[in-house]
Structure 1
């Protein structure tokens, strides 16, 4: 069985500093790494458009981009809770909070916002007015993401909201001519929601406003294969939000809790570990050397080689 730990590989700028603290917070996990082989896959989000964890999810469904698509295009059908025509491109609009700084903008994803069903429905109804004057069409409503229809002759880039929210990409608004109409529409949506009753109520509660949205996707459901029927992987996503915010103190605290709740218990020696970060995915396969020989050969330092890349 694969055990997938999303957000466990820290950014390269802080990885070396966190290595000892991480090993101390989760000694059972890092003891397993000492006698295992790690295969590193570098995944530049500028090229894939998605996080390594999302890339891994798409690889499990054997997604293959076509034409000008990147991997992030596959997130449309992957995340959609509806069942459109298998040959119809799936585009999603995700609710977000966009904060404008002096020199850049940052984004909070829907997962960070604690959105209620009633809030999402009220915003959906007001967005219908804005969309009615555009070639785009809102089709279905979910709490965090809405299904939208994009004109068939329009070629748009796709970028995962989770990559944008990591704060490590600049100029994430597409600047090409094809995207200009979409940028104008999303700007109009921000204006519409600026003083919406939903956001007035959230402001009174001290909650982040739902003042923007992000559109991504574009692949068809037929580009995804059915999920594997073999033993499903165990997926641990508790570290994701702290990793995305680069809150390493909180990250270490959550890692320590995972040690107590998950890592310190015996696992099948044949289990693979899949570790993901911002731009890397590492697959850990069990080592063949006995523990005493591994220490004799100083194998216990190998994990730091790929950890600190």
Structure 2
């Protein structure tokens, strides 16, 4: 659990800033050159590493931080990803009703693997989503699941109360191969059957025919996650709301490190210089399986340089 001291200083959360361990050492120098303001702050700060295995949490470290920020408490066999249902749907009326979400997606089939693009990657219009929602009603009518509410990127669904399903964030799925994440238990097979039926229904749908003509990724699949109730989350109590910087997420998820460096340089130019001026603000940095909380160092800069402490950030950056 990540403890938070609730004071007037601000948390600055930069998601997707920590590269995958296989490339982190190689990118360290380039990243420090692209964003000198950020890395000067790291040089005189203390970093506390939290290793967060997506196989256990079911979500990304950034999503884990968001859930911790709302003091989410998993119940029973739930993992943290179960809390993404109410987190992404904060206006659910019944606080004791489990919130399950279906997120529209693109599933790309390769020779031996399938990959997933999330709704964030697809730029879905309201009219496209509504047309697909109406066609999905037919598929859902023949299943134990029920469509409840339409949203542009995510729809509310009802899962049978006696059905126990695992929850996995689509953002985690999109970071790897879909084959590696599909649950294989008997109850999940019903969900797989439903999602396969949706793929068939949408294969020649007019929405996708039009998207194909415009050379845009098809909305040809979906992913279901959630299961926690709104009562398991609490209202955030920080005096100063955190500042969330999510611009690096897409390139980090795609492991497009050239684009990642370009976005990092733009953040340096547009955001970091004024934002990081307050030396007492805390940084929260996230990657694929790690979260690092960076707190201001109390050691004078000259002494840190003398003891070579200004290079300590590389120890956790390259883990």
TM-score (norm 2): 0.94
- In the TM superposition, residue 289 of structure 1 has moved relative to its aligned partner by 1.2
5+ residue gaps, structure 2, are 1-9, 273-277
2:267 — aligned with what? 258
- In the TM superposition, residue 82 of structure 1 has moved relative to its aligned partner by 3.7
SS in 1 for 2:180: coil
- The 1:168–1:184 alpha-carbon spacing in structure 2 relative to 1, beyond 3 Å, is closer
- 1:108-162 Cα distance to aligned partner (Å, 9 max, x none): 0000000000000000000001001111110001100000000000000000000
- In the TM superposition, residue 301 of structure 1 has moved relative to its aligned partner by 1.1
- 1:61-112 Cα distance to aligned partner (Å, 9 max, x none): 1111111100000000000154231111000000000011111110000000
CA–CA separation in structure 2 for the residues paired with 1:229 and 1:37:
22
Alignment check: 8 A CA contact 1:163 1:169 kept: no
TM-score (norm 1): 0.97
CA–CA separation in structure 1 for the residues paired with 2:238 and 2:51:
28
SS in 2 for 1:151: coil
Matches within 5 A, 1:102-141: 102-141=111-150
- In the TM superposition, residue 188 of structure 1 has moved relative to its aligned partner by 0.2
Number of residues of Structure 1 aligned to a counterpart in Structure 2: 305
Alignment check: 8 A CA contact 2:113 2:178 kept: no
Matches within 5 A, 1:214-253: 214-253=223-262
Greater mean alpha carbon deviation, residues 169-178 or residues 151-160: 169-178
SS in 2 for 1:170: helix
Alignment check: 8 A CA contact 2:45 2:295 kept: yes
SS in 2 for 1:229: coil
CA RMSD of aligned residues (A): 0.9
CA–CA separation in structure 1 for the residues paired with 2:238 and 2:29:
38
CA–CA separation in structure 1 for the residues paired with 2:236 and 2:265:
32
CA–CA separation in structure 2 for the residues paired with 1:3 and 1:170:
35
CA–CA separation in structure 2 for the residues paired with 1:82 and 1:29:
36
Q: Which runs of 4+ in 1 moved over 3 A?
A: none
- In the TM superposition, residue 230 of structure 1 has moved relative to its aligned partner by 1.4
CA–CA separation in structure 2 for the residues paired with 1:233 and 1:87:
28
Alignment check: 8 A CA contact 2:48 2:292 kept: yes
Alignment check: 8 A CA contact 2:113 2:177 kept: no
5+ residue gaps, structure 1, are none
- 1:197-231 Cα distance to aligned partner (Å, 9 max, x none): 00000000000000000000000000001122511
